[in-house]
A and B are shown apart, each in its own frame.
Chain A
Amino acid sequence: MIRTEELLLNVGPQHPSTHGVFRIVVKLDGEVITEATPVMGYLHRGTEKIAENLNFTQIIPYTDRMDYVSAMTNNYVLVHAVETMMGLEIPLRAEFMRLIVMEMQRVASHLVWWGTYLLDIGAMSPFLYAFRDREIIIDLFNELCGARLTYNYMRVGGVKWDAPPGWMDKVRDFIPYMEKKLQEYDKLVSGNEIFLARIKGIGQYDAATAIDYGLSGANLRCTGVDWDLRKAEPYSLYDRFEFDVPLGTRGDCYDRYRIRLEEIKQSLRILKQAVEQFPQGGETMGKVPRAIRPPAGEVYVRIESPRGEIGCHIVSKGKAEPYRLKFRRPSFVNLQLLPKLLVGETMTNLITILGGVDIVVGEVDC
């Protein structure tokens, strides 16, 4: 008779497949997980507390550092919340610039996910391809605002910098390039038997669970729930463009993978239309009072970030600083289902499922 006992295994906070400093403690019975407890807070910087002593323009750089893979959408949710409170009108050119950088950011963010997810599962080279193409977007952002990841690009009332001469042409050239590359990657990876065996039917849940847990983004749409805020509650200029919301049916890692790839394609479609319709002239900053003081009251605005619904809840007392600022971070909310999903799975699937959620720890901890 062999004596067996449960094993408590610590994963992270420094582990390549946790994408940052996420830690999870799992109880193992042989190879099977019987309990999983996420431990967060290793990257908690108290952004919400710091923000209470800053004015709104000063808070923008802090939003860059929440979801550092998708800083543009974070910029937008904050300035959009303040603009909603103050009832500001944004010049068309500025709004176009915002939309274009946000969609480019979505492509870049999904490329990071695609590359690192395959790396987690054991495919080395896709990571290099993904980062090569993401580099083009990052170079374009660098040219636009002088930063590669933390852009601090948007302002209440518009954007800080106009597109430099020739920039829009480079974006226009990038779209067909990326479309072609995307097809290539799809052919390269998506049909791979080993890869499919690793992700098909893994981490499955149904629509009712997804809604109950407040999941958003690809994590919600993989179950077939048609809920993309760009369509459901249009903000910015999204109601001007044609695009589809890809949906899944099974709610497993494979569906989430397909959706994210398809979303890159749809983003490129939006970009193509936006570049075409981009207004010739116009301002990049609207008329904004010298001191930005939203009226007393509160507002909750939400947009679709690459990871799901990112929201900003501002309570203002009419001062230049927010009385309370709360961010609804999609990574944090999406992660809640993880302990439930992991029970009964093997250790190898832990990596597959965690990667499929697509978290950014800067956003989980805030």
Chain B
Amino acid sequence: MSEEQEKKDKPEEAPAVDPEREAKLKAAAEARAARQAAKEKAEAEAAEAASPEPKPPSPKQPQPDRLVALVRQAAGDDAIMESYLNELNGDMPTLVIHNKHWRSIASMLKEHDELRFNYLRNVSGVDYETHMEVVYHMISLESKQEAAIKVRTERDAASVYSATPVWATANWNEREIYDLLGIDFPGHPDLRRIMMPDDWVGHPLRKDYEPLDSEV
């Protein structure tokens, strides 16, 4: 019975709603058009702003420029493989260097009067499958100048000069990297495993590591 009633009611109600609905549709269409226009305008403005100058240089630009110059001076022109500002990380000056230059660069970074990176905050190792990298994040507590130095090495017989003689804090960090990634650190005073048992086979954080028991 109620169904019948509904059927009856519907045709009566529908025309009553229509003008309101039409008004709504019209308003929506207008809003859409306005949005479209605004979007086009914004895009045009953005394109205009972007075209003459692709990107304003970072205010931090002089810092890495000077860093690059000093590193070149210390280790030769071919020492730096790449240098850039890491935009994701608040324009952190980042240098990629090859291992063979690392020993001379490390002590320069700490001792040079303009840099004085006296605080090594983090050391991490990364297995890129084609090569390995050890990343040193450092900061000068006096000038608050920061840098990330990425030391690249081959994947087979990976080896990076130890930074422990320069920053004592690198000691355990490098031991951890040796343990988990199998990177050798010549010059390290006490290179042993630190997390895994001494008789462990393999280096777990390598991308091609196969666990002994895959069920675990």
Complex Cα distance, B88 from A48, in Å, reads 21
Tell me which residues across on chain A come within 8 A of B148, comparing CB atoms.
Answer: 300
B196 adjacent to A41 (CB under 8 Å): yes
A311 adjacent to B88 (CB under 8 Å): no
- CB B209 to nearest CB in A, in angstroms, measures 8
Complex Cα distance, B118 from A366, in Å, reads 26
B168 adjacent to A212 (CB under 8 Å): yes
A24 part of interface (Cβ distance < 8 Å): no
- CB B25 to nearest CB in A, in angstroms, measures 28
Tell me which residues across on chain A come within 8 A of B169, comparing CB atoms.
Answer: 212-214, 333, 336
Beyond A225-B141, A324-B127, whether A313 also contacts B171 by CB under 8 A is no
Tell me which residues across on chain B come within 8 A of A299, comparing CB atoms.
Answer: 86, 88-89
Beyond A41-B197, A324-B126, whether A214 also contacts B120 by CB under 8 A is yes
A295 adjacent to B121 (CB under 8 Å): no
A250 part of interface (Cβ distance < 8 Å): no
B161 part of interface (Cβ distance < 8 Å): no
B137 part of interface (Cβ distance < 8 Å): yes
A297 part of interface (Cβ distance < 8 Å): yes
A119 part of interface (Cβ distance < 8 Å): no
A243 part of interface (Cβ distance < 8 Å): no
The chain B residue sitting closest to A297, CB to CB, is: B88
Complex Cα distance, B31 from A314, in Å, reads 42
Contact with A211, one of B86, B118, B125, B193 (Cβ below 8 angstroms): B118
Interface size on A, residues (CB 8 A): 37
Most buried by B among A295, A301, A332: A332
Complex Cα distance, B168 from A326, in Å, reads 20
B1 part of interface (Cβ distance < 8 Å): no
B88 adjacent to A41 (CB under 8 Å): no
Contact with B173, one of A211, A225, A232, A333 (Cβ below 8 angstroms): A333
Tell me which residues across on chain B come within 8 A of A309, comparing CB atoms.
Answer: 121
Beyond A214-B121, A313-B135, whether A333 also contacts B172 by CB under 8 A is yes
Beyond A297-B86, A299-B88, whether A324 also contacts B173 by CB under 8 A is no
A313 adjacent to B173 (CB under 8 Å): no
Question: Using an 8 Å CB-CB cutoff, how does the interface string of B118-144 with A read, 1 for contact, 0 for none?
Answer: 111110111100000001010001001
The chain B residue sitting closest to A225, CB to CB, is: B141
- CB B158 to nearest CB in A, in angstroms, measures 15
Interface SS of chain B: helix, strand, loop or mixed? mixed
Tell me which residues across on chain A come within 8 A of B119, comparing CB atoms.
Answer: 211, 214
B92 part of interface (Cβ distance < 8 Å): yes
B194 part of interface (Cβ distance < 8 Å): yes
Question: Using an 8 Å CB-CB cutoff, how does the interface string of A298-320 with B read, 1 for contact, 0 for none?
Answer: 11111000000101010100000
- CB B197 to nearest CB in A, in angstroms, measures 7
Interface size on B, residues (CB 8 A): 35
A328 adjacent to B86 (CB under 8 Å): no
B124 adjacent to A324 (CB under 8 Å): yes
Tell me which residues across on chain B come within 8 A of A85, comparing CB atoms.
Answer: 88
Tell me which residues across on chain A come within 8 A of B122, comparing CB atoms.
Answer: 300, 302, 311, 313, 326, 328
B173 adjacent to A315 (CB under 8 Å): no
A365 part of interface (Cβ distance < 8 Å): yes
A15 part of interface (Cβ distance < 8 Å): no
A300 adjacent to B172 (CB under 8 Å): no
- CB B144 to nearest CB in A, in angstroms, measures 7
The chain B residue sitting closest to A215, CB to CB, is: B169
B194 adjacent to A41 (CB under 8 Å): yes
Contact with A46, one of B126, B127, B204 (Cβ below 8 angstroms): B204
B205 adjacent to A49 (CB under 8 Å): yes
The chain A residue sitting closest to B90, CB to CB, is: A84
Contact with B124, one of A213, A214, A326, A335 (Cβ below 8 angstroms): A326
Tell me which residues across on chain B come within 8 A of A240, comparing CB atoms.
Answer: none
A129 part of interface (Cβ distance < 8 Å): no
Complex Cα distance, B148 from A105, in Å, reads 31
B23 part of interface (Cβ distance < 8 Å): no
- CB A316 to nearest CB in B, in angstroms, measures 9
B195 adjacent to A40 (CB under 8 Å): yes
A227 part of interface (Cβ distance < 8 Å): yes
Contact with A313, one of B137, B144, B167 (Cβ below 8 angstroms): B137
Complex Cα distance, B86 from A315, in Å, reads 12
Question: Using an 8 Å CB-CB cutoff, how does the interface string of A211-232 with B read, 1 for contact, 0 for none?
Answer: 1111000000000010100001
Question: Using an 8 Å CB-CB cutoff, how does the interface string of B182-193 with A read, 1 for contact, 0 for none?
Answer: 000000000001
Tell me which residues across on chain A come within 8 A of B127, comparing CB atoms.
Answer: 324
A148 part of interface (Cβ distance < 8 Å): no
Complex Cα distance, B92 from A295, in Å, reads 16
B121 adjacent to A302 (CB under 8 Å): yes
A-B pairs with beta carbons under 8 Å apart, 7 shown: A46-B204, A298-B88, A299-B86, A300-B92, A313-B124, A328-B121, A333-B169
Closest 10 interchain pairs by CB?
A214-B169, A326-B124, A328-B122, A44-B195, A299-B89, A41-B195, A297-B88, A212-B168, A324-B126, A313-B124
* Given A214-B167, A366-B195, 10 more pairs with CB closer than 8 A: A41-B194, A41-B196, A48-B180, A214-B168, A299-B86, A300-B122, A313-B135, A326-B124, A326-B125, A333-B169
B→A interface (CB under 8 Å): 86-90, 92, 118-122, 124-127, 135, 137, 141, 144, 148, 167-169, 171-173, 176, 180, 193-197, 204-205
